[in-house]
């Protein structure tokens, strides 16, 4: 402890340390001296004027007011005078190489021009009384600046400083400004201010850490100002009002997906995936959710078989889906195809909440319904898939497919890509044909000529061309065929040819005639050739004809299966067969709880006999076509284990069934089943 706070020569010589030396340009040797004089209650250090070779001076935690002695230290590089009583800002002649200065915890109030201190790289001015930032315009080397806990209300004077770290914590800032030129800034601490917007940070492209704790940020959307700062890893928004916003953390994680720390907690990959799935789900996720939703609603309904739900699960109901961007002509082409190949295809009429355009007919182009009705239909499990497109809902109902299936025809529908993805989750296995505009100008002209689309809607439709094109590029085999839709007539010719190719229609022509002749000669009892289980059914020629034709469509239209798929289907089919003969697993038992209708019956009666659950006597009120079994491929495939608990009641049911001469196999009684019986 110095007497009266005056630094003495004895103390100095006992403290001074030699820290290496250097040789000047004229050959003189200079020693670097380090003077650690902290915590000594010093008030007067004027004796240091004699120590001209000081390289580093540490005076922290004293009571020094005057630092003019530094004017005599031309070699000084590092000066720490923090925790003193200095009020004058840089009150000394500039040492030429002064690089680091710490004046924190003093009583300075005013900054001054530092152009003479051009070597300054690190400056700590925390805990003073500065209310204005100035004098730094020529600090071309300044990389670290700390002005925390002052009274600064505006960021300024930093245009030329190549800052890497800036601390302005605990000031009176209300906005972030004056940082536009900070191309090197990596760490910014503006916590404990009154900042309400993140605007002003957009140009800080290498910013890694941003501390905004205890400010006035209110809106999650403010994060959009920093969403292009791809190196930002650590963001602190603790104690901002925005924390009270619903789903705050997930939303911020979504907007700033590159963050690894948010509010001092690490951001897990799971959080990132959840956030993306929540706010911008990939099309597959949307489709999977859509499929699950409809499946769950459907399973809550009484479970029965539909005409399109086949016992023979390796031969799914044949469908043709035309897909492509809005207004590429697919609806019209689907209609034309169904007209021209009316013996093969029926048009599946979707539901929509949009109003009809001029020339459109209800129950021909769409079923036009209100949003409320559409939503009710969703909860009633009516839909196979739905999409929300251009603020309107579209959906394909089970019944729309059934209507076509009851005619013994394959169902032809058109839909957007989202619908395709959802349908691909179901047990249907359609052929998918992409109709895509290749001449954008022509496509735009066509959209405009309809006079119903806003410029934004047109832009959206056009932008989706790339979505289809990239899907086709990135997923070989996703679409079975791609046809340019620029000229609808040409597109139709191609489509017609392609579909006929699927069906082998030309070669079919003659065979069909021969077969029809054969079928006409067949007796009802010959239905046994369809399989022993149907031998008791009397099949009229119409049914047989349907069977022949339908199975043909089916085999041609449905894409070939891999050996693994085939093995899985065989196994499931075997389970179904076991169910039929009485070794039924529980999960299939509901398929065979039949009405007691027996003997030969007309097509209509067979259809009626399909209802499979609930009160079997209420045949009239429960027509088969109104009901369905779970339609998901997933639902079917999860049903394979035959554990003991599941078998009990199922055996019971099937035993009853197998022992009853009344019971026939209902799923084989419709024309569709007939068409799909083992051949
Ligand atoms: N169930 C559905 N699922 C998915 N998309 C559907 C469904 N029903 C209709 N769409 C699609 O919604 C989009 C908007 O339908 P809209 O009837 O307004 O178009 P459009 O002008 O008839 O188009 P296009 O002539 O290409 O059929 C179309 O691309 C249509 O194919």
Where would I find the H helices in 21-106? none
Give the mean pLDDT of 528-535.
25
* 415 CA to centre of ligand 1 in angstroms: 5
Residue-level pLDDT at 4: 86
**pLDDT tens string 201-214:** 999 999 999 999 99
For residue 152, pLDDT beyond 60: yes
For residue 67, pLDDT beyond 90: yes
Confidence category of residue 558, pLDDT binned at 50, 70, 90? low
Task: Identify whether 188 is part of a domain.
Answer: yes
Confidence category of residue 406, pLDDT binned at 50, 70, 90? confident
Host domain of residue 21: 1-108
How far is the CA of 258 from the CAs of 202, 449, 557, in angstroms? 15, 44, 46
CB 479 within 8 A of CB 433: yes
Q: Whose CA is nearest to atom 24 of ligand 1?
A: 327
Residue-level pLDDT at 585: 42
| Bigger pLDDT: 589 vs 176 | 176
| Bigger pLDDT: 445 vs 640 | 445
Task: Identify whether 653 is part of a domain.
Answer: no
Residue-level pLDDT at 634: 31
For residue 617, pLDDT beyond 60: no
Residues 71 and 159 in one domain: no
Give the mean pLDDT of 70-92.
96
Residue 437 Cβ < 6 Å to ligand 1:
no
For residue 573, pLDDT beyond 70: no
Residues 379 and 348 in one domain: yes
Confidence category of residue 575, pLDDT binned at 50, 70, 90? low
Residues 264 and 293 in one domain: no
- Residue that is last in its domain, among 279, 312, 337: 279
**Residues of the chain above pLDDT 90, percent:** 63
Task: Identify whether 401 is part of a domain.
Answer: yes
Task: Identify whether 128 is part of a domain.
Answer: yes
**Could you tell me how far CA 17 lies from the centroid of its own chain?**
63
Residues 487 and 427 in one domain: yes
Residues 343 and 428 in one domain: yes
Residue 318 Cβ < 6 Å to ligand 1:
no
For residue 218, pLDDT beyond 50: yes
**pLDDT tens string 369-400:** 999 999 999 999 999 999 999 999 999 999 99
Residues 58 and 130 in one domain: no
Give the mean pLDDT of 331-351.
95
Confidence category of residue 503, pLDDT binned at 50, 70, 90? confident
Domains identified in the chain, total number: 3
CB 539 within 8 A of CB 674: yes
Residues 379 and 272 in one domain: no
Is the ipTM beyond the 0.95 threshold?
yes
Q: Which of 397, 433, 238, 240 is nearest to 321 (CA)?
A: 433
Q: Whose CA is nearest to atom 10 of ligand 1?
A: 415
Confidence category of residue 454, pLDDT binned at 50, 70, 90? very high
DSSP symbols for 499-527: HHHHHTHHHHHHHHHHHHHHHHH--GGGG
Residues 270 and 290 in one domain: no
Confidence category of residue 636, pLDDT binned at 50, 70, 90? very low
Task: Identify whether 204 is part of a domain.
Answer: yes
Residue-level pLDDT at 635: 30
* 310 CA to centre of ligand 1 in angstroms: 28
Residues 275 and 287 in one domain: no
For residue 639, pLDDT beyond 70: no
Choose the residue to mutate in 294, 378, 390, 394 for probing ligand 1, maximizing ligand atoms within 8 Å of C-beta.
Answer: 394
Residue-level pLDDT at 501: 87
Residue 387 Cβ < 6 Å to ligand 1:
yes
What lies within 8 Å, CB to CB, of 411 at 6+ separation is 308, 317, 318, 319, 320, 345, 346, 347, 348, 400, 401, 404, 405
- Residue that is last in its domain, among 501, 530, 558: 501
Residues 331 and 445 in one domain: yes
**Around Cβ 337, how many Cβ atoms within 10 Å?**
21
Choose the residue to mutate in 416, 436, 463 for probing ligand 1, maximizing ligand atoms within 8 Å of C-beta.
Answer: 416
Beta pairing class for 383-389 and 78-80: unpaired
Q: % helix / strand / coil in the chain, to the nearest 5?
A: 40, 15, 50
DSSP symbols for 441-497: HHHHHHHHHTT---HHHHHHHHHHHHHHHHHHHHSTTSSSEEEE-SSHHHHHHHHHH
Task: Identify whether 176 is part of a domain.
Answer: yes
Q: What is the mean pLDDT of the chain?
A: 79
Give the mean pLDDT of 612-627.
28
Give the mean pLDDT of 474-487.
95
For residue 287, pLDDT beyond 50: yes
| Bigger pLDDT: 659 vs 569 | 569
* Token pair 């963001």: residue: 235
Q: Whose CA is nearest to atom 28 of ligand 1?
A: 326
* 412 CA to centre of ligand 1 in angstroms: 13
Give the mean pLDDT of 429-436.
94
Q: How far apart are CA 187 and CA 161, in angstroms?
A: 14
* 610 CA to centre of ligand 1 in angstroms: 33
Task: Identify whether 610 is part of a domain.
Answer: no
66: CATH: 3.80.10.10
Q: How far apart are CA 561 and CA 315, in angstroms?
A: 10
Q: How far apart are CA 386 and CA 388, in angstroms?
A: 7
Residue-level pLDDT at 385: 97
Residues 406 and 349 in one domain: yes
**pLDDT tens string 23-41:** 556 665 666 788 999 999 9
Residues 302 and 351 in one domain: yes
Residue 188 Cβ < 6 Å to ligand 1:
no
Confidence category of residue 556, pLDDT binned at 50, 70, 90? low
Tokens of 192: 């404990």
Residue-level pLDDT at 312: 53
- Residue that is last in its domain, among 216, 249, 279: 279
Residue-level pLDDT at 33: 84
Give the mean pLDDT of 165-188.
97
Task: Identify whether 226 is part of a domain.
Answer: yes
């Amino acid at each position: 402890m110095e007497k009266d706070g005056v630094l003495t020569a004895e103390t100095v010589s006992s403290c001074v340390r030699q820290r290496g030396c250097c040789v000047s340009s004229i050959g003189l040797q200079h020693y670097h001296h380090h003077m650690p004089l902290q915590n000594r209650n010093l008030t007067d250090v004027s004796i240091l004027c004699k120590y001209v070779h000081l390289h580093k001076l540490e005076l922290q935690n004293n009571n020094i007011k005057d630092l003019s002695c530094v004017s005599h230290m031309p070699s000084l590089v590092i000066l720490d005078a923090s925790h003193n009583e200095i009020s004058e800002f840089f009150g000394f002649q500039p040492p030429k190489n002064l690089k680091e200065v710490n004046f924190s915890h003093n009583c300075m109030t005013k900054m001054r021009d530092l152009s003479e201190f051009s070597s300054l790289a690190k400056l700590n001015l925390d805990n003073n009384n500065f209310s204005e930032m100035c004098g730094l315009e020529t600090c071309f080397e300044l990389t670290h600046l700390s002005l925390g806990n002052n009274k600064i209300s505006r960021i300024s004077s930093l245009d030329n400083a190549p800052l890497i770290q800036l601390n302005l914590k605990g000031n009176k800032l209300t906005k972030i400004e004056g940082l536009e030129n900070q191309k090197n800034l990596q760490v910014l601490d503006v916590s404990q201010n009154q900042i309400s917007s993140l605007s002003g940070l957009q140009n800080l492209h290498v910013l890694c850490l941003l501390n905004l704790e205890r400010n006035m940020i209110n809106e999650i959307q403010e994060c959009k100002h920093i969403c292009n700062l791809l190196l930002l890893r650590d963001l602190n928004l603790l104690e901002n009002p925005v924390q009270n916003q619903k789903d705050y953390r997930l939303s911020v994680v979504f907007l700033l997906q590159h963050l690894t720390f948010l509010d001092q907690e690490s951001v897990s990959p799971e959080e990132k995936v959840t956030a993306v799935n929540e706010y911008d789900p990939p099309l597959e996720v949307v489709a999977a959710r859509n499929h699950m939703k409809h499946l769950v609603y459907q399973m809550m309904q009484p479970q029965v078989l539909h005409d399109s739900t086949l016992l023979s699960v390796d031969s799914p109901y044949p469908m043709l889906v035309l897909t492509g961007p809005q207004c590429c002509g697919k609806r019209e082409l689907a209609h034309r195809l169904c007209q021209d190949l009316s013996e093969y295809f029926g048009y599946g009429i979707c539901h929509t909440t949009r109003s009809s355009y001029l020339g459109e007919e209800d129950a021909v182009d769409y079923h036009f319904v209100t949003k409320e009705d559409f939503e009710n239909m969703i909860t009633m499990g009516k839909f196979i898939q739905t999409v929300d497109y251009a603020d309107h809902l579209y959906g394909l109902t089970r019944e729309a497919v059934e209507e076509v299936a009851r005619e013994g025809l394959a169902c032809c529908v058109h839909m957007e890509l989202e619908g395709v993805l959802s349908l691909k989750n179901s047990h249907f296995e359609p052929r998918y044909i992409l109709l895509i505009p290749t001449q954008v100008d022509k496509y735009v002209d066509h959209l405009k000529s309809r006079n119903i689309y806003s410029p934004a809607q047109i832009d959206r439709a056009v932008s989706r061309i790339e979505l289809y094109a990239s899907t086709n590029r990135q997923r070989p085999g996703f679409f079975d065929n791609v046809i340019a839709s620029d000229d609808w007539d040409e597109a139709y010719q191609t489509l017609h040819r392609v579909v006929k190719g699927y069906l082998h229609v030309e070669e079919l022509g003659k065979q069909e005639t021969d077969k029809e002749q054969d079928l006409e000669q067949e007796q009802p009892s010959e239905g046994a050739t369809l399989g022993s289980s149907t031998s008791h059914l009397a099949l009229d020629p119409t049914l047989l004809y349907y069977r022949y034709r339908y199975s043909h469509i089916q085999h041609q239209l449905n894409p070939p299966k891999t050996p693994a798929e085939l093995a899985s289907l065989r196994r499931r089919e075997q389970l179904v067969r076991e169910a039929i003969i009485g070794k039924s697993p529980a999960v299939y038992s509901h398929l065979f709880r039949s009405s007691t209708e027996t003997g030969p019956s007309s097509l209509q009666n067979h259809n009626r006999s399909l209802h499979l659950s609930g009160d079997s006597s209420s045949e009239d009120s429960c027509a088969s076509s109104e009901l369905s079994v779970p339609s998901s491929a997933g639902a079917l495939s999860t049903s394979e284990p035959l554990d003991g608990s599941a078998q009990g009641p199922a055996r019971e049911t099937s035993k009853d069934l197998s022992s009853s001469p009344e019971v026939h196999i209902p799923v084989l009684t419709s024309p569709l089943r007939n068409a799909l019986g083992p051949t």
